[in-house]
């Protein structure tokens, strides 16, 4: 029989470093084990930092993103049927970096800013055209914010499909989800995102 823990010194002290990824995920999801959570962080935090640092080109931002990635990663483990922890870690990390870029790109300035219509909206001289563009930018910002409130698998599938232009087959290959799972996550995510946006409009 395979032993999940091996002895360290006196008595049987859990050695989470000897567990496989699958065992760590199972223990974490079934027992909400802090030791399993810490081992997952220790095992993959350097990888997440490397991915984020390579994408955002800023060490401080990358460090902040690492914490955000693991917060969302650990929350998603309880909701998702993760086949490969390492692959899922990479998907969540890249997804969070992409959302970071989208939020930075669509961060709005005051309509009274002198740069409005010039620096932020080059080529838009007509006031009505600028207002229409502004409305689209605000909607995109709300959509990106809304994605973060969805379940992680819905967040990732919608991000890959609509923001990164991936096909359903490519999403299957990136995430490890089946075609039907991707289709379900997209449909449920779209419905939930629409409800959130409609709720903000009615408020």
Smallest Cα–Cα separation from 161: which of 187, 140, 135, 191? 187
Q: Is the pLDDT of residue 197 over 60?
A: yes
- Cβ neighbours for 122, distance < 8 A, ≥ 6 positions apart: none
Q: How many residues does the chain have?
A: 203
pLDDT tens-place string over residues 95-148? 888 888 877 664 433 333 433 333 333 444 454 554 555 555 555 566 767 777
Vertex 69, ends 68 and 73: CA angle to 5°?
Answer: 120
Other CB atoms within a 10 A radius of the CB of residue 58 amount to: 13
Other CB atoms within a 10 A radius of the CB of residue 138 amount to: 12
Question: What is the C-alpha to C-alpha distance for residues 37 and 32, in angstroms, rounded to an integer?
Answer: 8
The kind and range of the H/E element at 36 are helix 34-56
Q: What percent of the chain has pLDDT over 70?
A: 70
What residue spans define the domains of the chain?
A: 14-105
Question: What is the C-alpha to C-alpha distance for residues 29 and 69, in angstroms, rounded to an integer?
Answer: 17
Q: Which CATH class is domain 14-105?
A: mainly alpha
DSSP code for 110: P
Location of structure tokens 């299957």:
172
Instruction: Give the lowest-confidence range in 5-14, 64-73, 78-87, 93-102.
Output: 5-14
Give 64's pLDDT tier (boundaries 50, 70, 90).
Answer: very high
Question: What is the C-alpha to C-alpha distance for residues 120 and 136, in angstroms, rounded to an integer?
Answer: 13
Give 5's pLDDT tier (boundaries 50, 70, 90).
Answer: very low
């Amino acid at each position: 029989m395979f032993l999940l823990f091996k002895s360290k010194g006196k008595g049987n002290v859990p050695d989470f470093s000897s567990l496989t990824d699958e065992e760590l995920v199972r223990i974490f999801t079934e027992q909400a084990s802090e030791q399993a959570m810490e081992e997952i962080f220790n095992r993959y935090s350097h990888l997440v930092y490397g991915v984020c640092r390579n994408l955002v080109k800023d060490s401080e931002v990358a460090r902040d993103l690492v914490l955000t990635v693991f917060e969302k990663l650990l929350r998603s483990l309880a909701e998702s049927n993760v086949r490969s922890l390492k692959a899922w870690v990479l998907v969540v990390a890249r997804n969070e970096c992409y959302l970071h870029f989208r939020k930075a790109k669509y961060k709005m300035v005051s309509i009274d800013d002198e740069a409005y219509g010039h620096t932020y909206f080059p080529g838009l001289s007509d006031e009505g055209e600028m207002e229409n563009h502004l409305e689209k930018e605000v909607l995109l910002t709300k959509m990106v914010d809304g994605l973060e409130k969805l379940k992680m698998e819905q967040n990732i599938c919608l991000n890959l499909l609509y923001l990164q232009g991936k096909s359903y087959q490519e999403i299957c290959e990136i995430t490890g989800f089946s075609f039907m799972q991707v289709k379900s996550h997209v449909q449920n995510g779209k419905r939930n995102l629409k409800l959130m946006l409609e709720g903000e409009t009615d408020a």
